[in-house]
Amino acid sequence: MKNRIAALLLWACALSAQAQTFPDQPIRIVVGFAPGSSLDTVTRVVATRLGDELGKPVVVENKPGAGGNIAAEFVARSTPNGYTLLACNTGLAIAPAIYRDMTFDPVRDLRAVSQMTSMPHVLVTATSFPANNIAELIALAKSRPGKLNMGSAGVGNADHLAGELFNSMAKVDIVHVPYKGGAQAMADTITGTVAIYFSGLPGAIPMIQAGKVKALGVGMAQRSWALPDVPAIAETLPGFDVNLWYGLMAPSGTSDAVADRIAQAVRQVMRRPDMVETMRKIGADPVAGSPADFQKLFDGEVVRWKALVKEANVQID
């Protein structure tokens, strides 16, 4: 018994020492989507300031594919020391509900570190698209079943599921067209190659302001302060509410002390006036709590999306 107690004390001391010296080398944040996507945009803004706060460089690495799952599995298999993190979004909580043969379990193999932001999706179309509001879009889609299409940043991503939920609730058949990233989906929306795209606000607001796309509705229950003149989709489809959050995860096994150290730094970054202003300009609300806060959100989202996916009968080929 004494040997066991001594071993536990040594282990606790080692973790405390690790937290006190962390970080002593650069930190890598892996993004599962292409450069220019909304998640990539936010992560790069946060990473620069996070490096200042932690005193070590924080670099962003893109590993796009499989709706973010390639990056998520890479991080899940990484050494749990806090030096490899995952920038994730709502899609990570959706994945267990739609992928039958996942080679990792995000609930088991990853742990929450800190939420970064919260924001709605916004449904955008080409400026030449004939529908100018959600009601007109639904009427057009019903008159042309299977003829309209919607872009997304990848199969199973949050914007894909937002579109599938829209299909289910509006009782329409808009065909999904997956891309390798949000920037490509937005580019083809601008040209009218795809009819609609549920974009995150950071990727959409510059295009809306430049007059390259028009916004038909935001995907939360209320209108967004960032686009006050754009109706909530729920004003036409009551109950439509898809919150898009971004956060940081680490491999399961990463110590509480290290996770707390990173989360504390994220909180300091998100409270800086220049960061609040920057996030607000791109339509995101800065959010940073404890690892426990983010874990609670993530676990609840996994349960919520399993129910939504079942109700919408979403099938991933």
Is there a single domain that holds both residue 84 and residue 177? Answer: no
Q: What is the pLDDT of residues 303-312, one digit of tens each?
A: 988 887 887 7
Structural domain boundaries, residue 131: 120-235
The answer on 197 and 60 residing in a single domain is: no
**Residue 222 belongs to some domain of the structure:** yes
What pTM value is reported for the model?
Answer: 0.80
Look up residue 112 and give its amino acid.
A
Same domain (yes/no): 95, 132:
no
**DSSP class of 234:** G
Q: DSSP code of 231?
A: P
**Is there a single domain that holds both residue 248 and residue 300?**
yes
- The predicted model gives 250-258 an average pLDDT of 97
Number of domains in the chain: 2
**pLDDT tens readout for residues 37-56:** 878 989 999 999 999 999 99
pLDDT tier at 284, thresholds 50, 70, 90:
confident
Domain boundary, last residue among 186, 213, 235: 235
82-108 pLDDT, tens digit each: 999 999 999 899 999 888 888 999 999
Give the residue from 235, 269, 296 where a domain finishes: 235
Of 197, 213, 235, the residue that ends a domain is 235
Q: Which parts of the chain fold into alpha helices (H)?
A: 2-21, 38-54, 69-76, 90-98, 106-109, 134-143, 158-170, 182-190, 201-209, 256-271, 273-281, 291-312
- Per residue in 188-218, pLDDT (tens digit) is 999 999 999 999 888 899 999 999 999 999 9
